[in-house]
Amino acid sequence: MIRTFHAKINKKIMFFSLLPATVLAIYFFWVKLPLAALCCMVFLVFVVERLIHTYYVFTDEGCLFIHQGRFSKVSRHSLSDIEKVDIVRPSSLSFLKNKDTVMLTFCDGSIKFITPFPAEEFCRYFKRKQEDFLEKTGGL
């Protein structure tokens, strides 16, 4: 069975990237700088497209596909390559992290942060899927 988790849209990303770009685009149109305004508008299109079209797919072959918008490359990760999945709880110093951020730790030591919704269900499903995959393949 293929299971898809969509990304949670982070309000802080919207506030710190979309609001200033919108204000700058309006300002550049106001002062008659259309090329600068066009650049801000293109930036807005890319950010909104990436926010809306990010999702995470588990397949029956034991893979996790991470789609981060139409304009970026799809990353494929085998469930056996992922060592640990944890929900990151924000501390007082990391005010930009979302409460639903999941940290994927790979066998080679690399780390990837994703924001599936709901995060707890994503972690439970991942652990169940990883156990089934390792049981089916004999622990490869």
**pLDDT tens-digit map of 100-139:** 788 888 888 899 888 888 888 988 988 888 888 777 776 5
- How distant, in Å, are the alpha carbons of 33, 47, 69, 96 from that of 16? 23, 11, 19, 10
CA distance 59 to 66: 11
Read off the CATH number of the domain in which 28 is found: 2.30.29.30
Domain count, the chain: 1
Position 90 scores a pLDDT of 66
Structural domain containing residue 76? 3-138
* pLDDT tens, residue by residue, 55-108: 999 988 888 899 988 888 999 998 888 888 888 876 644 555 556 788 888 888
Position 139 scores a pLDDT of 59
Position 93 scores a pLDDT of 47
Give yes or no for residue 3 having a pLDDT over 90. no
Biggest alpha carbon–alpha carbon distance for the chain: 66
* pLDDT tens, residue by residue, 21-65: 999 999 999 999 999 999 999 999 998 888 889 899 998 888 889
Position 119 scores a pLDDT of 85
Position 50 scores a pLDDT of 87
List, in order, residues 6 or more apart from 17 with CB less than 8 Å away: 47
Give yes or no for residue 140 having a pLDDT over 80. no
